[in-house]
Amino acid sequence: MDRYLEHWLSPSYKGELYNMNEELDDTYKAVFRQCYPKLLFYATRLVGTEEAEDVVQDVFVELWRRRDSVVIGEQILAFLYRSVYTKAINLLKHQVIENNYSAAMIEIYERRLQYYQPDHAEVIKKIENQELRQEIFGAINELPDKCKEVFKLSYLHDMKNKEIADTLGISLRTVEAHMYKALKFLRERLSHLLLSLIIFQQNC
């Protein structure tokens, strides 16, 4: 099971989705797996890390409740971005009233909301690209140290296997073994990302 979905459906989290676990169908879970990382990253930009997860969970709970009226198709991600944005606005309005924020703080929130409007395609693209890079580099950092070093020299510094072997003082065969191990791990770890297939398919 996807690690995000597993977290939300675990007894330790005890979120509303956990109580709905037995009802969730495969289509809904597929949308969750595809959209959750992007929406969480987006929500974090709007309301901060502490509140972002609750905002996104509320959106998915609402999506499930409205499953008979919401069509899950090509526009579902845009719909979810808009839903996250709307919930973020409501949350920030509540915080402004509850905490009696100053005019300067309110202006900061207003500018943030204006900049991150989901209708701004270029902003959304930048957010998704940054989230994607973070996930890829996060996966790379999970590699064993030597394996990670070899992979970074190859893909980030564009070094040939022979150059890597000479630089690290190891055999060419050892470099090839590290590359095989790294690519195998990353293909599996990033299997849900289309970009990962583009990056690694030539080395399959």
pLDDT digits (tens, 9 = 90+) for 5-60: 555 544 444 455 545 555 566 777 778 877 888 888 888 888 888 888 888 888 88
* Per-residue pLDDT tens digits for 70-116: 667 767 888 888 888 888 888 888 777 777 766 666 666 676 666 66
CA dihedral 23, 26, 27, 33 (to 10 degrees): 100
Place of tokens 């072997």: 165
Taking residue 179's Cβ as centre, other Cβ atoms within 10 Å add up to 19
Q: What is the pLDDT, as a whole number, of residue 5?
A: 54
* Confidence (pTM): 0.49
Question: What is the rounded radius of gyration, in angstroms, for the C-alpha atoms of the chain?
Answer: 21
Domains of the chain: 1-117 (1.10.1740), 120-203 (1.10.10.10)
Q: Is 166 helix (H, G, I), strand (E, B) or coil?
A: helix
CA angle 27, 189, 121 (to 5 degrees): 60
On whether the CB atoms of residues 89 and 83 are closer than 8 A, the answer is no
